[in-house]
Chain A
């Protein structure tokens, strides 16, 4: 069973090894001529203004919370999709009811304006 995960472990190993090697080699053979501008935090080419630890808007939080809910909805879709052929029409109706109830929530969120980014 676990042997089938060997390719994944090898892949993770190569990825980690590559990351470590790039860091080490760039430190060893890279040139270092630091100037004040080079050491400044990069912010899309703009001069950085103020502290990076600013208070985030509440809107991000709503989006993240709604994301969790619909993420869990998506989680239920995986075993359903795997069993779709065996469940047939019954399963289709079942999932239809499930999604319809959540669609009510989606419409509520939409109408309430929680997805607006004013």
Chain B
């Protein structure tokens, strides 16, 4: 049942991923991308990471898609850009190269037989969000505070870049 569900969601994810690159209108591509994000969120749920799923939808399908849509509207890609651009040959070459690499690493990589201290059972009993919270706010305290500086830089950068245009 779960495997069947996985294949169903995977099919939808791949199909909407293909739509992202084949749609003629950029807005349609963006909507297909939202669909892909939702499928990824379902994968997170299936991997016992509900917090990641919520973040995936909130940040990616919410905030970042809004930004992408604004970029599309800002660039105002009109009718003339709806012509099909063809990079079929190079696309196939690059795609098969990536696939070969992936297969190579999957074949070569030996999965270690030991599992870490955080197993599915631990996640079930403690709670996924609690585990993340504990690790962010206790073990990775400094990186967490540095994140705020990173976000500050992002704010300042956005304002400086945007104000130059106005």
Contact = CB atoms under 8 A, between A and B. Distances in A.
A114 B59 contact: no
A9 to B, nearest CB: 9
Contact of B151 (A53, A59, A72): A72
A56 B70 contact: yes
Contact of A68 (B2, B55, B59): B59
A101 B156 CA distance: 12
Contacts of A64: 63, 66-67, 70
Contacts of A114: 159, 162-163
B46 A94 contact: no
Interface stretch (A26-34, A39-47, A73-81): A73-81
Determine the main DSSP class of B at the interface with A. helix
Interface of B: 2, 45-46, 48, 51, 54-55, 58-59, 62-64, 66-67, 70-71, 73-74, 76, 78, 120, 124, 127, 129-130, 132-134, 136-138, 141, 144-145, 147-149, 151-152, 154-156, 158-159, 162-163, 165-166
20 contacts: A54-B76, A55-B73, A56-B70, A58-B74, A58-B162, A58-B166, A60-B70, A66-B159, A68-B63, A69-B151, A69-B158, A71-B58, A78-B51, A79-B133, A83-B134, A87-B138, A102-B155, A104-B152, A108-B156, A109-B155
